[in-house]
Structure 1
Amino acid sequence: MGQLDGKVALVTGGSAGIGLAVVRRFAAEGATVYLTGRRKAELDEAVEAIGEQAIGVQSDVSNLDDLDRLFAAIEARSGRLDVVVANAGVGELAPLGKITEEHYDRTFDINVRGVVFTVQKALPLLPDGASVIVLASTNASTGVQAMSVYSATKAADRNLVRTWAAELAGRGIRVNAISPGPIETPAIRSLRAEQAPALDELVARIPLGRIGRPDEVAAAALFLASDQSSFTTGAELFVDGGLNQV
């Protein structure tokens, strides 16, 4: 018997990396999982790998028409959402002095606008007692060179979680954040290829001495999605090997 048997979940940005690991874990625990992604081929591949419990809907969270289509599809097929994981996000290096309007708009559109309207448009489908999980980042509470815009978006996401936890408490809807540290994703693999010394320096600062795995973030998401976290809301769960804690 799975921890999410009979539940219906949505994971945005669920076709790769952390999002895909969350989809896999939720499906393994008995949930029907809707996952989104902008690239159809990658989305189709993820759905095929997971099986019949995964339902892919191609969409861009920064596009409100796409979100309307997404939630219309969920309502027509399932009628409700028990868990929302607002995971879709982007992070690109841009030091002060080289920040462009395009970089700023793209990062805020996906990481903040996308989160706001994903959760807001999901509200009519959320029953009392549902769970909302927002992927923030350790960068929300630290200063990392060339990551000021990205970090600002994640700090905004963290505060949205606090506010929504207060606003939705009357319905028993729990809203929490997960803040991963360095996780073995395509972005980290790119950093390893391009800036190996910088990655080695980062790993040396992690108390557990290694980069995390996507499935370790998925385990945290399962905790927040399930009844195991029934008295947890407004929280920020760090999955960072102690990087921001020690």
Structure 2
Amino acid sequence: MARPHTTFHTLTALVLLGALVFVFASLGNWQLSRAAQRDAIRLAIDAGRGSAPLALGVDTPAVEMVPWRPATAHGHWRHDLTVLLENRNYQGRPGYWVATPLVLDESSSTAVLVLRGWLPRQASFPQSPPTVPAPAGEQAISGELLDRVPRLFELWSWSDNSATQLPKKLPDPERPLPSLQNLDLAAYSAATGLKFKPAVLAQTSAAASPESADGGAQLLHEWPEPSLDSDKNRGYALQWFGFAPIAAIAWLVIAWRALRRRKSPPIL
């Protein structure tokens, strides 16, 4: 007859190995789903960038604002509504993304939010906001469409930290150049009173009028690309699927040995 402690250890080992088989298989399936998502993003990028350039206007339908599609827009900047997006690094250097509404039609307050480019953050303390270029007059902007402003994870978003939140009303005299971690287009529309097109334009070239002519720093228009290496995910999936049968074989070996001990006659 098997000893009680031996039976307990055997059952514990069987439960743990069974759980490992499930976990390994689940992780493999998750990696395959991640690979499929990255393949879908690659196809969306290729389809968007392969489309004809879109001229954004007041009557441009939302169905034509495909992510990654080249687009152009003409209008006037609302520099008083500019916000800075924090912690947007460029080649390892900390900095900001500059986001400014481009008003397409004054009478209807229709605008498109433009990610104008990247500016470095000062290394000295105390830090002061960067000097944002503020060209006046009619602007011709070209870039790529995005469905939203790319987000960063906010650890402090669970707390009420007003320094990283969008003011309820813009422009805000107390924060003339707000800086925040992420920007929601609906909340920005409510704060500014503008009617935004349901897309964001990431500027890819300088405007017709030089943005550095007024003494501001030159904006950089190099945007990060999403990670599209789906083969890496498939490699990870293969590893997890390889661990699953190893754990299953170990489960069978332990179960077989436990059955043999139960069938063996007791030694007198």
Name whichever structure is richer in helix by fraction. Answer: 1
TM-score by length of structure 1 reads: 0.24
With CA pairs under 8 Å and 6+ residues apart, which has the higher RCO, 1 or 2? 2
TM-score by length of structure 2 reads: 0.23
